[in-house]
Amino acid sequence: MNVPAPNSTAPKLTGAEKIDVTITAIVPLNDLVTRFEFKRSDGSLFPTFSGGAHTVVEMQDGDRKRLNPYSLMSDPANRETFAISVRRDDEGRGGSLFMHNKVKIGDPMVISYPVNLFSLDLRARKHLFIAGGIGITPFLAQIKQLVRTNGNWELHYSCRNASLGSYVDELTQKYPHSVHIHYDDEKDFIDLENLLHGQPIGTHLYVCGPKGMIEWVRSTAGAAGWPTAHIHYEEFLAPKPGKPFAVRLAKSGVTVKVGAHESLLEAIERLGVEAPYLCRGGACGQCETDVIESDGAFMHRDHWLEDEEKALGVKIMPCVSRFEGKTLVLDR
């Protein structure tokens, strides 16, 4: 079948290339999580992706455009349908509420080509997955990939309770010996130290879930002597609201006021200034921007810059980080 060239009409090549899609299914899984399925609007096939990849979904909410990353959780070998599962966040900035409340079957949307910042290390002898809540999504695609390639894997999945356990039934029915479910309300927690103890050499550890869980898994594994090269994690940060601040973009010769509820990157884009990005969640490093001048305090929130770089205040990741102070001039 013909696969069209990447969309050449995409206005600016600042993120990954874009795909025009149509919503073909909306499947509520429980009170909080709903699955959205896409097909390409031109009827052609999607590109392949590898388990752990995400797509950036563009949401036109009135005059406001949101771009949120979601892990692809469909089968990487299924090129007809892409699917994401979105957890409704009533306290968030509104992206998940837009998906839950405004999107209808048949709606056209734009998503990005898949980008993988959480790929499997295929040198591993065994893949040990630790998921918390909606953090299950990248593992759903990775498991499908590993089942097809006869991979050695094991999943430990922690959910708040049985009614919020997205995909628990599917996982436990298909893979009863590889999937282990833990419910917080039954006081059943992952016994991490014992789980890590005795894992065969060549095991790689992957964690996706709330911030606290990621830190707990990374520090526990580190203390048990697991090399950092064997520990993989993914946490997309949503930009946090903060005080409005002004930024001068030196190359473009404009000054932009960043609103309380928009990110620095969104403000730059609002002015029509080209700014690179991929994940929009502080993980990929693509939007790294040089600071030319500053008088004030940086709120660095990304996972990309080293602590020393953050302290120097000469770089900022505009997708999630903010600034408070008198002057900020960026090389953009």
Partner 1 sequence: MSTFNFPESIRSRPVYGTLQAQVGKSHLMIADAHGAEAVLEMAAKEPAMMAQSHIIYIPKGMQFGLQIQALKPAQYYEGPSYAAAVSRIKRVLSDAAMGLQIYLSGTEGLIGQAQYEVMQAGFDYTAIQTEHRGSVARRMQCVHCKGITEDVMIDPFQCSHCGLNLFVRDHYSRRLAAFQGVCIDAEEPGNVPPSVELYS
- Find the shortest distance in angstroms from Cβ 126 to partner 1: 8
- Find the shortest distance in angstroms from Cβ 223 to partner 1: 7
* Of 147, 142, 270, the residue nearest 207 (C-alpha): 142
- Find the shortest distance in angstroms from Cβ 201 to partner 1: 4
For 206, residues 6+ apart whose C-beta sits below 8 A from its C-beta are 118, 120, 127, 128, 129, 130, 139, 142, 232, 233
Measured CA distances, 80 to 43, 46, 167, 246 (Å): 8, 6, 21, 44
Answer yes or no whether residue 226 interacts with partner 1 by CB under 8 A: yes
Window 192-221: residues binding partner 1 (CB under 8 A): 196-203
Starting from the edge strand earliest in sequence, which strands make up the sheet with 254-258, in order?
254-258, 245-249, 322-330, 289-299, 315-316
Size of site (CB under 8 A) for partner 1: 21
Answer yes or no whether residue 253 interacts with partner 1 by CB under 8 A: no
For 106, residues 6+ apart whose C-beta sits below 8 A from its C-beta are 22, 23
Residue 327: what residue type? Answer: T
d(C-alpha 227, C-alpha 221), whole Å: 8
Answer yes or no whether residue 27 interacts with partner 1 by CB under 8 A: no
Site string for partner 1, 111-150 (x = CB under 8 A): ------------xxxx------------------------
d(C-alpha 107, C-alpha 212), whole Å: 36
Contact region with partner 1 (CB under 8 A), list: 44-52, 77-85, 160-168, 191-199: 191-199
- Find the shortest distance in angstroms from Cβ 228 to partner 1: 8
Answer yes or no whether residue 319 interacts with partner 1 by CB under 8 A: no
Answer yes or no whether residue 230 interacts with partner 1 by CB under 8 A: yes
Q: Interface with partner 1 by CB under 8 A: which residues?
A: 123-126, 196-203, 222-230
